[in-house]
C-alpha cells in the first residue's frame, strides 16, 4: 500500500475511477415480471429511483431511462410482497403481520423484520435477493445495504450478480479490499463476510441479505438484526433447507414464521418455475444422490436431522391445518376404540420439570362411509390440533389449560402415561395423576396399552409413530397444526442417544404425550419370548422393557 492511509487511498482511487460529470443522472430500476410469451411485454411491478441531482443530492424528477430487472414466475409471490413492503417503507410506514404471542395465543400486529426465501437449488433465491437489495439502495439515497455471505470467497457470486445487473455509471466499485459498491445516490452496498459473526456488529445497516443462510451461524443473524432495528429495516434470508448443525436455526426460523410466532414472512421458491435453468439436469441427481440429499437439494424439503427419533417426520408434509376436503370422524373413530364417542382425545405426560404436556387430537378421513368402516384404522388421518405446555405446573394447571381451550372432561378421552394411575407429577406414590383428573370431572382416562398397567416400550412406541408419520408406501397419517410450535419442534428435534430415544431430552415429554395415544390406536404386535433390541445390547423379555 502507498504512503497514503487506506481511507485516503480509497478517496483518491474513487476520484480517479468514479463517474465524472454531469449534474443529473437517471438512476431508475424497473422491477418487472418476465413476459409470459416470447416477444411479449414485461409487466411493470414497481419503479425505484429517479433523476439524481448531484448538487442537491436528491431525486429531483422522474428518470426517463431505466434499468430493467425481470423476475420469473417462481419469484412472483415474493416480488409482489417486496413491492408492498417497499411502498410502505417509502411512505414512512412499516409493513406488519399478525403474530401469535404468549401461552394464551394472543394475536398482535408486529412490524415484519425478516423475509425468508427457501427451496431447492437454482430456484432464483440469490438472484431475487440481490435484485431486491439493489432496488432498496436505489430507492433510498444514502442507505446502507449489506450482502452477507459465509466468508469472503463466497461474496463473489453476489459481486458478479451486481456487476451484471447495475450499469457501470451508477457506482464506484474498486474490488478487494473494498468490498463495496458506492452508488451515485450515496447508498453503499457492502459485501460482508459472516466468518466472524462479531464483526457484523460494526456499522449501520438498513437492508440485509443473507445468501446461503443455511451455512451461516445464527449469531451472525442476531448481530445483523440488531443493526437493522434502528430504522425498521428488513433482513432477507436466501436459503436451502439446512443439512448441517450450523443452519438448524433457519429451520426453526421458518417453522416459527409459518406458525405465525415470528414477525416474519416466508416464501417457497420452486426451481421448476425457473425458466433460466435446465431443471432436468437437477432431476437427474435422483439417480446420483441418496433420497435425503435429493429431497433437500432438489425438492427443497426441510428434513429432520439424521440423529433424531422421528426420521419420518417432515415439517413440510406433516405440519398442516386440518383438512377442508375430508370428513371429521373423531366420534366414530373413538367410539370404535372406547365404546363411546368423544369430541377429541388428549395425549398427556405428567412431569413438573420441564413441563406438563398435553396434546389434543382429532381425526379426519377422506374415505367414503362404507369404506371407512373397514379401513378406518389404517386410513384415517390423526391431527394434533392443539397443545398445552405448562411449565412448573401440576395436573390441575394442565387441566386448566385444556379447559381454557374449550375441552370438556366428559367429552374427551385422555390417553396418558400409565404410571399416572399410581403416582402424580411430584412422584408421590398413592396419589395418582389420574385421580386429580377424575376429581375434576375428567373420568375417561386410558393407559396406552389396554392389556398392561405399564407403558409400552419406547423404541416400539416410536416405531408406531414413525409409521403413522410416513408409511413405507409414502402415505402420511399423522399431522400437527402449524400453531403447535412446541410439539412440532419436539417431534422434529427429539434426539437419539446411543441408538435409542434420549429419555432426558427436553423434547421427550411432548413426544411421549403425542405417542401414547398412537400406541393405543395402533399397537405393534411384539413377538412373545426373547427379542433383541438394537442399541440395548442384551436380549431381554418384553416385560423388562415395560417402564423404560
Binding residues (CB under 6 A) for ligand ATP: these are 70-72, 75, 121-127, 238, 240, 269, 274, 276-277
What residues between 35 and 74 interact with Mg ion by CB under 5 A?
Answer: none
**Least gap, CB of 166 to Mg ion (angstroms):** 19
- Closest CB to ligand ATP among 5 and 275? 275
- The entry of ligand ATP, Mg ion, none that residue 121 binds, CB within 5 to 8 Å by partner kind: ligand ATP
- The entry of ligand ATP, Mg ion, none that residue 505 binds, CB within 5 to 8 Å by partner kind: none
- The entry of Mg ion, ligand ATP, none that residue 86 binds, CB within 5 to 8 Å by partner kind: none
- Closest CB to ligand ATP among 221 and 350? 221
- Closest CB to ligand ATP among 138 and 334? 138
SS3 call for 491: helix
- Closest CB to Mg ion among 129 and 413? 129
- Closest CB to ligand ATP among 102 and 281? 281
- The entry of ligand ATP, Mg ion, none that residue 127 binds, CB within 5 to 8 Å by partner kind: ligand ATP
- Closest CB to Mg ion among 82 and 444? 82
**Least gap, CB of 213 to ligand ATP (angstroms):** 10
502 DSSP assignment: -
Helix (H) / strand (E) containing 482: none
**Least gap, CB of 469 to ligand ATP (angstroms):** 27
- The entry of Mg ion, ligand ATP, none that residue 274 binds, CB within 5 to 8 Å by partner kind: ligand ATP
Beta bridge partners of 38: none
**Least gap, CB of 269 to Mg ion (angstroms):** 10
- Closest CB to ligand ATP among 149 and 412? 149
What residues between 102 and 141 interact with Mg ion by CB under 5 A?
Answer: 126
SS3 call for 522: coil
- The entry of ligand ATP, Mg ion, none that residue 124 binds, CB within 5 to 8 Å by partner kind: ligand ATP
**Least gap, CB of 282 to ligand ATP (angstroms):** 9
Binding track over 154-173 against Mg ion, x by CB under 5 A? --------------------
Helix (H) / strand (E) containing 173: none
**Least gap, CB of 293 to ligand ATP (angstroms):** 13
- The entry of Mg ion, ligand ATP, none that residue 468 binds, CB within 5 to 8 Å by partner kind: none
- Closest CB to ligand ATP among 149 and 193? 149
φ/ψ (deg, to 5) at 102: 65, 175
- Closest CB to Mg ion among 49 and 120? 120
**Least gap, CB of 436 to ligand ATP (angstroms):** 52
**Least gap, CB of 276 to Mg ion (angstroms):** 13
- The entry of ligand ATP, Mg ion, none that residue 277 binds, CB within 5 to 8 Å by partner kind: ligand ATP
**Least gap, CB of 277 to ligand ATP (angstroms):** 5
> DSSP E strands: which ranges in 285-366?
327-328, 344-349, 355-365
Question: Is position 215 an interface residue for Mg ion (rule: CB under 5 A)?
Answer: no
**Least gap, CB of 461 to ligand ATP (angstroms):** 38
**At CB < 8 A and 24+ separation, what contacts does 102-105 make?**
103/389, 103/401, 104/404, 105/483
Task: State the burial class of residue 360 (Cβ atoms within 10 Å of its Cβ: 0-12, 13-18, 19+).
Answer: buried
For residues 112 and 95, the answer to whether their CB atoms sit within 8 Å is: yes
With both helix axes pointing from N to C terminus, report the angle between 156-165 and 125-139 in degrees, rounded to the nearest 10. Answer: 60
Rounded CA separation 25/61 (Å): 10
Q: How many residues sit in the footprint of Mg ion (CB under 5 A)?
A: 1
Chain residue whose CB lies nearest Mg ion: 126
Q: What is the DSSP string of 227-279?
A: HHGGGT-EEEEEEPPP-SGGGHHHHHHHHHHHTT-SSEEEEEE-GGG-TTS-H
Q: The C-alpha cell of 306 is what? A: 439424521
Rounded CA separation 158/239 (Å): 14
- Interior angle at CA 274, CA 268 and CA 276, nearest 5: 150
Check the CA dihedral 362-366-367-368 and report its sign: positive
Alpha-carbon distance values, 548 to 250, 455, 498 (Å): 34, 8, 15
CB atoms inside a 10 Å sphere around CB 94: 17
Task: Look at phi and psi of residue 212 and say left if phi exceeds 0, alpha if psi is from -120 to 50, else beta.
Answer: left
For residues 330 and 344, the answer to whether their CB atoms sit within 8 Å is: yes
Q: What is the dihedral of CA 193, 194, 195, 201, to 10 degrees?
A: 100
Rounded CA separation 343/337 (Å): 13
**Least gap, CB of 62 to ligand ATP (angstroms):** 25
- The entry of ligand ATP, Mg ion, none that residue 461 binds, CB within 5 to 8 Å by partner kind: none
- The entry of ligand ATP, Mg ion, none that residue 240 binds, CB within 5 to 8 Å by partner kind: ligand ATP
**Least gap, CB of 373 to ligand ATP (angstroms):** 48
Residues 6+ apart with CB under 8 A from 282: 120, 121, 122, 271, 297, 298
In the block, residue with C-alpha cell 458506492: 182
- Closest CB to ligand ATP among 24 and 279? 279
Binding track over 269-308 against Mg ion, x by CB under 5 A? ----------------------------------------
Q: By the criterion CB under 5 A, which residues form the site for Mg ion?
A: 126
Amino acid at each position: 500500500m502507498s504512503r497514503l492511509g487506506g481511507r485516503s487511498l480509497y478517496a483518491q482511487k474513487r476520484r480517479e475511477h468514479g463517474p465524472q460529470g454531469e449534474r443529473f443522472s437517471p438512476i431508475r430500476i424497473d422491477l418487472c415480471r418476465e413476459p409470459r410469451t416470447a416477444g411479449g411485454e414485461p409487466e411493470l411491478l414497481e419503479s425505484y429511483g429517479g433523476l439524481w441531482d448531484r448538487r442537491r443530492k436528491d431525486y429531483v424528477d422522474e428518470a426517463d431511462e431505466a434499468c430493467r430487472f425481470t423476475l420469473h414466475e417462481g419469484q412472483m409471490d415474493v416480488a409482489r410482497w417486496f413491492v408492498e413492503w417497499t411502498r410502505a417503507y417509502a411512505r414512512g410506514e412499516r409493513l406488519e403481520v399478525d403474530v401469535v404471542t404468549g401461552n394464551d395465543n394472543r394475536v398482535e400486529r408486529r412490524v415484519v423484520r425478516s423475509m425468508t426465501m427457501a427451496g431447492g437449488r437454482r430456484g432464483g433465491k440469490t438472484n431475487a435477493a440481490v435484485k431486491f437489495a439493489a432496488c432498496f439502495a436505489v430507492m433510498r439515497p444514502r442507505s446502507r445495504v449489506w450482502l452477507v455471505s459465509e466468508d469472503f470467497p463466497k461474496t463473489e457470486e453476489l459481486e458478479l450478480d451486481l456487476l451484471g445487473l447495475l450499469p457501470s455509471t451508477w457506482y464506484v466499485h474498486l474490488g478487494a479490499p473494498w468490498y463495496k459498491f458506492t452508488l451515485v445516490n450515496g447508498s453503499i452496498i457492502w459485501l460482508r463476510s459472516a466468518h466472524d459473526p462479531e464483526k457484523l456488529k460494526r456499522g449501520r445497516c438498513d437492508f440485509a441479505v443473507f445468501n446461503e443462510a443455511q451455512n451461516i451461524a445464527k449469531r451472525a443473524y442476531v448481530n445483523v438484526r440488531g443493526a437493522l432495528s434502528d430504522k425498521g429495516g428488513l433482513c432477507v434470508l436466501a436459503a436451502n433447507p439446512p443439512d448441517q448443525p450450523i443452519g438448524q436455526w433457519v429451520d426453526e426460523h421458518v417453522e416459527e414464521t409459518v406458525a405465525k410466532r415470528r414477525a416474519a414472512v416466508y416464501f417457497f421458491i420452486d426451481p421448476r418455475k425457473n425458466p433460466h435453468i435446465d431443471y432436468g439436469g437437477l432431476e437427474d441427481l435422483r439417480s446420483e444422490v441418496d433420497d435425503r440429499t435429493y429431497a433437500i437439494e432438489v425438492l427443497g424439503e426441510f428434513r429432520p436431522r439424521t440423529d433424531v427419533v422421528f426420521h419420518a417426520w417432515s415439517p413440510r408434509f406433516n405440519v398442516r391445518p386440518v383438512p377442508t376436503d375430508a370428513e371429521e370422524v373423531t366420534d366414530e373413530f373413538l367410539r370404535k376404540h372406547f365404546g363411546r364417542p368423544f369430541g377429541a382425545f388428549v395425549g398427556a405426560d405428567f412431569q413438573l420439570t420441564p413441563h406438563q404436556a398435553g396434546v389434543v387430537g382429532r381425526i379426519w378421513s377422506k374415505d367414503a362411509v362404507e369404506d371407512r368402516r373397514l379401513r378406518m384404522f389404517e386410513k384415517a388421518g390423526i391431527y394434533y390440533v392443539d397443545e398445552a405446555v405448562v411449565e412448573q405446573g401440576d395436573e390441575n394447571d394442565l387441566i386448566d389449560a385444556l379447559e381454557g381451550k374449550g375441552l370438556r372432561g366428559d367429552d374427551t378421552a385422555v390417553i396418558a402415561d400409565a404410571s399416572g394411575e399410581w403416582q402424580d407429577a411430584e412422584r408421590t406414590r398413592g396419589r395418582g395423576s389420574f385421580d386429580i383428573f377424575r376429581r375434576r370431572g375428567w373420568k375417561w382416562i386410558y393407559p396406552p396399552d389396554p392389556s398392561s398397567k405399564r407403558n409400552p416400550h419406547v423404541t416400539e412406541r416410536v416405531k408406531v409413530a414413525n409409521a403413522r408419520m410416513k408409511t413405507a408406501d409414502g402415505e402420511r397419517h399423522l399431522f400437527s397444526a402449524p400453531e403447535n410450535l412446541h410439539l412440532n419442534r419436539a417431534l422434529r428435534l427429539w434426539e437419539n442417544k446411543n441408538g435409542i430415544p434420549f429419555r432426558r431430552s427436553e423434547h421427550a415429554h411432548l413426544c411421549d404425550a403425542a405417542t401414547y395415544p398412537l400406541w393405543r390406536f395402533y399397537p405393534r404386535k411384539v413377538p412373545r419370548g426373547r427379542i433383541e433390541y438394537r442399541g440395548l445390547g442384551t436380549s431381554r423379555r418384553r416385560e423388562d422393557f415395560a417402564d423404560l
